[in-house]
Structure 1
Amino acid sequence: MSAIFSSREFRPAAIHVAVTLGLGFLCAIGAGTVDSIGVTKALMGASLGVVLLGAVLAGARTFRSSRAGGRWQVWQGAFWLLLGLSLLWFTSVLPTILFA
């Protein structure tokens, strides 16, 4: 097993990504179950906000871990994963917010 996967930083980063995506999916699923257009738009916007906030927090954790001399590479991977997914998420949420 490599040093990255055996470090104490991998588990918190993986949990951060899983919780962020879980909350985002929960908001998106909630948006699909309501009848009101306004609530649907708010929940879809909230799902995008959750994923973007998770990406920003992973980026901040990357910076703090780098300054402390820790395993910042794991957090950078989480940051780029969440940032890429937030861009994909944006392309699926934008039509719902604009045209629903």
Structure 2
Amino acid sequence: MSTGQHHTGSGSDIRRAVRHGIITVVFALACFAVAALSQNPLHEAMIAAAPAVMFIGAFSALWVTFRTWRAGGRWQVWQGASWFLLAASVMMLMATAPVLLD
């Protein structure tokens, strides 16, 4: 199974995983920024989109973890990114739930 650019033993896996995490968090925060600048119903949609973006980022990191594991690469780096994004998405969901349930 081809996995693209997975280099075992190099720092590129770490850089890619960190970059994935940062980009995911930036997109989620951008959802909050758009929500702060908008009115209903876009306001509520963007607040709901922020945790969804984080969950998508977490599951895509899990997919890369699986693919890297199958290729014999450094899958642990991607698993760490997955856990970080999953924990952040749950925290973000708990923070936005009161706003969405009003």
What's the TM-score once normalised by structure 2's chain length?
0.87
Does residue 82 of structure 1 match 2:89?
Answer: no
**Any unmatched runs of 5+ in structure 1?**
none
CA distance in 2, matches of 1:5, 1:46: 36
Q: Tell me the SS of whatever aligns to 2:12.
A: coil
Structure 2 match to 1:19 = 23
Structure 2 match to 1:38 = 41
Deviation for aligned residue 1:6: 4.9
8 A contact 2:9–2:74 mirrored in 1: no
Provide the identity percentage. Answer: 36
Q: Tell me the SS of whatever aligns to 1:70.
A: coil
Say which structure is richer in helix.
1
8 A contact 2:51–2:90 mirrored in 1: no
Displaced runs of 4+ in structure 1, greater than 3 A?
none
What's the TM-score once normalised by structure 1's chain length?
0.89
